[in-house]
Structure 1
């Protein structure tokens, strides 16, 4: 953790103690704000579980507890349910649109075909957890940050699960390499 992240985490914790949650998250409804919760059904500790219809991600803990985060998910036809594992973790990752993204929306993505360096305006945000699959390797799906808080609670991405930049920093610190990650099918 670098000095800037340490100071930001301290400020967020101070804001949380005064306001009942970080100031940046006050615009999110309570069900999309980070919370330490009891699970309704038991899940193994040390796993990520994404429930797309509820726009929620759970990082499971012992004793049927979990950290819950509000997320955005892939729009129709782009969300890919499955059983994955964290194959890479990156801070302020660079980003390159996939060929499919460029084909679908060349006006938006073609200019970035050679990539974009990490930074505050990068679509992967402050942190990214890279989803891998046995026998396939990197799936090009990510759990990552976004500076656009207004997208949380919506199906708007190209298949990835996104958290606010501040929330992905919190999750990133908790999740180890190779952690199992389950993206459940959309029911609606």
Structure 2
């Protein structure tokens, strides 16, 4: 028993002696030498810019974000904050919104939903009445009733009034901008086949021999506004409904 105690005291004394060794003596001890051919084959660590280096600036950041030879600068991803060196967490929905080429648009105003309303005008059943100032199209039903649709009308300087007849009807019409429109907008295509991206939308009803039409639109948020070059535009679902209710020769009164 006494021998075990003695051994324990000696071990403790040795440890204490090592711990009390001056720092200078430890630093002066000869380091272990490892030669290049003895180095383990491990992949080199990748250097990255961390938050605590964000304020270093100058050549160090240039070195990190270039290829070191050509001087070509690294282009950080959108949302990169050089003060933090971090990217924000990715929101898939936000990413989809950012990738979309079109900006956000206002919701469709419910005032312009199709609805049956009272009508006490002098026009007979089957007549289309365009109320330009209030941006409504009425299809007169007779007996003091009409179907009312929201529409988009001409911009200032492009509104008009008069009486026309529907001279032709086309489903998914092609679009050829007239010379007058191309003079104002030379960036427009010279011809576009019918389809969902066509500005004439799903249906078109041509008004007499004029260039004006009642047509659909791939921009439903413009209904209720002064937006066109004189045509009457409707939502695609509304123009399809109207198209099925009127025939070639129907009277159209534009107020």
The TM-score normalised by the length of structure 1 is: 0.76
CA-to-aligned-CA distance 1:147-169 (integer Å, 9 cap, x gap): 21110000011110000001100
Alignment of 1:28-43 (within 5 A): 28-43=108-123
CA-to-aligned-CA distance 1:84-124 (integer Å, 9 cap, x gap): 000000000001001000011212x2xx22x1100000011
Rounded to whole Å, the distance in 2 between the matches of 1:70 and 1:33 is: 6
Q: Which residue of 1 aligns with 2:210?
A: 139
Higher strand share: 1
Q: Which residue of 2 aligns with 1:130?
A: 206
- 1:78 Cα deviation after fit: 1.3
RMSD: 1.1
The structure 1 segments of at least 4 consecutive aligned residues displaced by more than 4 Å after TM superposition are: none
Q: Which residue of 1 aligns with 2:35?
A: none
Q: Can you give the 5+ residue segments of structure 2 that lack an aligned partner in the other structure?
A: 1-106
Q: Which residue of 2 aligns with 1:76?
A: 156
Q: Which has the higher contact order (CA 8 A, sep 6+)?
A: 1
Rounded to whole Å, the distance in 2 between the matches of 1:77 and 1:161 is: 15
Q: Report the secondary structure of 2:117's partner residue.
A: strand
2:143 to 39, 42, 63: 63
> Are 2:187 and 1:116 equivalent residues in the alignment?
no
Structure index of larger Rg: 2
- 1:64 Cα deviation after fit: 1.7
Rounded to whole Å, the distance in 2 between the matches of 1:31 and 1:79 is: 22
Q: Which residue of 2 aligns with 1:169?
A: 240
Q: Can you give the 5+ residue segments of structure 1 that lack an aligned partner in the other structure?
A: 1-26, 133-137
Rounded to whole Å, the distance in 2 between the matches of 1:62 and 1:154 is: 28
How many aligned residue pairs are there?
149
The TM-score normalised by the length of structure 2 is: 0.57
- 1:30 Cα deviation after fit: 3.5
Rounded to whole Å, the distance in 2 between the matches of 1:156 and 1:125 is: 15
> Are 2:175 and 1:95 equivalent residues in the alignment?
yes
Q: Report the secondary structure of 2:244's partner residue.
A: helix
- 1:139 Cα deviation after fit: 0.1
CA-to-aligned-CA distance 1:48-82 (integer Å, 9 cap, x gap): 00011111000111212111000000111112211
